[in-house]
Structure 1
Amino acid sequence: MGFINSVKGKILIGFILAIIVYVGFMGNVAEAQNMSHYGATVWLHVLAGIVWIGLLYYFNFVQVPGMGQALADTDGPGPAAIGKYIAPRALLWFRMAAATTLLLGLLLLGTTGSIGSAFMLEPGFQVIGLGAWMGTIMAFNVWFIIWPNQQKILGMKSASAEEIATAKKNAALASSINVILSVPMLLTMIAW
């Protein structure tokens, strides 16, 4: 049971089952081998997006409110375990999922020769272009606003009490913007 409970085990078994399901739906292995790079990239793009947005929602709907309650509970254990053990790991997956989702999205646009058309919101590309812009803004927020501020909040970088208070406000605002953008951005991912 150790392997199935490990992160690597879960990921590996999940991918193996996905291949089995794909082969089963395709009818035979020969047809399954013809899966296009584009189709596989779309699947990985959506999978990475699920991880990214799932963690975004976890932070906003579970962890941040939970840490607030832990800070207010004078008789409880406090937020130290979350801040020391859970948040750094979740933030690593969060950053990697954001980067993977953005890069695979750009790869998909590049494969179809539509990066410029999408980002310029040309006719026929407005929906995917809006999604690309929202995803880019969200990834920027993750890497250049949320992550640097979280490093101060979690004590990974030294910061004064005033800098930490400012970091909390900046990270919270960028994270709230990402939650708001995620709803229409997810719609654009499936609408094009």
Structure 2
Amino acid sequence: MFGPHLIDWLHLGLRWLHVIAGVVWIGTSFYFVWLNNHVRASEQQPPGSEAELWAVHGGGFYRVLKYATPPGPPGTLHWFKWEAYTTWLSGLSLLALLFYVDAPVFLIDPSKADLSPLVASAIGIATLVVGWLVYDLMCRSRLLERPVAFSLVSMVLLTALTAALFQLFTGRGAYIHVGAVLGTLMAGNVFFVIIPAQRELVAALEEQREPDAALGRYAALRSLHNNYMTLPVLFMMISSHFPFTY
């Protein structure tokens, strides 16, 4: 249907975009975790601010101030969301181009399950959707108040998902879909939880009312989940270069 070189260039371009967007997203995520762990209260910080941090980089000094509620609406406000959306959309496009368009080659293993390309692709997409719904339900339950139990249940479910996918798909296809599920959880956290919470924070500031502190803490916890999920996602991204991992 398409020329082989066109598909190769499309694949290369999407993979390049995916890696670049992922580097930016992960870099900002790690930076803000580091920043929150290193800002400190000092006698020199402006009134109303919670903490500050001084840093030196690239020939200049930078002063970062942290406010729970700034004294007034900020001027130019920078949002950290497009990195996440670009990473997920480019990753989903790669998944479709490689594993769904060429499902008989990269996704289906006849020795494991007799699946048509359409059914195999539908299972892959459903895995992403159901994975997000289950994770989001867990995060909205009382289980989130028990971090150890939440972590154990998450590990059990992720292990069960991995085992199930390995019964249906090729090793590489199963492994990549596990990574895609985690990436979907991360992007879903940004789109459905973190950004809406930040919009509410800005709205409260503009309307001069007290922001919902619980909503902010909840979004921060989801952001922390993203930070931890980054490590296995990166491992699975490079796993295709090391077949012994799957």
TM-score, normalised relative to structure 1: 0.66
C-alpha displacement at 1:116, in angstroms? 3.9
- Residue 187 in structure 1 maps to residue 242 in structure 2: no
- Residue 108 in structure 1 maps to residue 94 in structure 2: yes
- Residue 147 in structure 1 maps to residue 147 in structure 2: no
Picking from 55, 73, 83, the partner of 2:28 is 55
* Deviation string, structure 1 residues 75-110 (Cα, Å, up to 9, x no partner): 313369666468x31x2xx31111111111111111
Letter in 2 for 1:157: A
8 A Cα contact 2:88 2:183, kept in partner:
yes
- Residue 178 in structure 1 maps to residue 226 in structure 2: yes
Letter in 2 for 1:56: S
Please list every run of 5 or more consecutive structure 1 residues that lacks an aligned counterpart in the other structure: 1-32
Please list every run of 5 or more consecutive structure 2 residues that lacks an aligned counterpart in the other structure: 1-5, 51-63, 68-73, 104-120, 128-164, 241-246
Percent of residue pairs bearing the same amino acid type: 32
Kindly report which structure 2 residues correspond to 1:12-161, keeping only aligned pairs within 5 A, or say none: 36-62=9-35, 64-65=36-37, 69=40, 72-77=41-46, 78=49, 84=74, 88-89=77-78, 91=79, 94-112=80-98, 113=100, 115-116=121-122, 118-119=124-125, 120=127, 121=165, 122-124=168-170, 125-153=173-201, 156-158=202-204, 160-161=209-210
May I ask how many residue pairs the two structures share in their alignment? 150
Pick the structure with more strand per residue: 2
CA RMSD of aligned residues (A): 2.9
Q: Which of 1 and 2 has greater Rg?
A: 2
The verdict on how the C-alpha distance between 1:34 and 1:188 changes in structure 2, with shifts beyond 3 A counting, is: closer
8 A Cα contact 1:150 1:167, kept in partner:
no
For the residues of structure 1 that align with 2:14 and 2:169, how far apart are their CA atoms?
24
SS at match of 2:187: helix
C-alpha displacement at 1:142, in angstroms? 0.7
The verdict on how the C-alpha distance between 1:133 and 1:73 changes in structure 2, with shifts beyond 3 A counting, is: same
